Amino acid sequence: MHISEGVLSAPVLIGGGALSAGCVAYGLKKMEYKKIPQVAVLSSAFFVGSLIHIPAGPVSVHLVLNGINGLILGWAAFPSILVALTLQAVLFQFGGITTLGVNTFNMAFPAVLSYYMFNRLARSPNMNIAMAAGFGAGFFSVASGGALIALSLVATGEEFTTAAKLVLAAHLPVMIIEGLFTAACVAFLRKVRPEILEAHV
């Protein structure tokens, strides 16, 4: 889920950077004091989640964890994911510094969307609905993250159908695994710490 240096054209890089900068600033402003440790922990999870590798046919993919980030953090997912991606770029050479803006937006924007779509459902008194919402958040965040990657590549000039097909095919297993993982997280949090899922946007 990381776009390397030198793949995207300058307008795409600058556009992604500008969008991310605005959203990160908004996320920081929205971030409540008592929410900061949660942001840090979820940022850490996102940071190491990229090391959990899933072989998927000709390419290798990894856990993304942007769904659970968004579901719990809302707009604060932007600073969380930016920090994690920066450290991944510096320490693991995943992605790159120039693509940081685009990668942050591609990962964090679906996270924020999934907050609006699934957070209320994840707090539903019915446990089945809550877990389904968790699955939805994980599945949707990876799927739309992949769609945004395809879009970034297309904006640079890659042919749409090739890029979209490749990205979709490669991410289908991750979407399912990520959905199951997020559902398990939601079930666990609902049992032990239901207030973590409370709205703070």
Structure tokens at 76: 């604060």
Candidate segments 1-9, 17-25, 126-134, 136-144, binder of another protein by CB under 8 A: 1-9
CA distance 55 to 8: 25
C-alpha neighbours within 13 Å on the C-beta side of residue 125: 0
Contact with another protein (CB under 8 A): which of 13, 131, 149, 197?
149
Q: Is 85 in the site for another protein (CB under 8 A)?
A: no
Contact with another protein (CB under 8 A): which of 23, 77, 153, 175?
153
CA distance 113 to 137: 9
Q: Is 5 in the site for another protein (CB under 8 A)?
A: yes
Backbone angles phi, psi at 60, to 5 degrees: -115, 140
Alpha-carbon torsion, ordered 159, 162, 164, 167, to 10 deg? -130
Please report how the helices 36-49 and 66-73 are oriented relative to each other, as an axis angle in degrees rounded to 10: 170
- Least Å distance between CB 140 and another protein? 19
Q: Is 47 in the site for another protein (CB under 8 A)?
A: yes
How many residues sit close enough to another protein to count as binding (CB under 8 A)?
Answer: 52
Binding region for another protein (CB under 8 A): 1-8, 28, 31, 33-34, 36-41, 43-45, 47-53, 55, 58-62, 83-84, 87-88, 91-94, 149, 152-153, 163, 166-167, 170, 192-193, 196
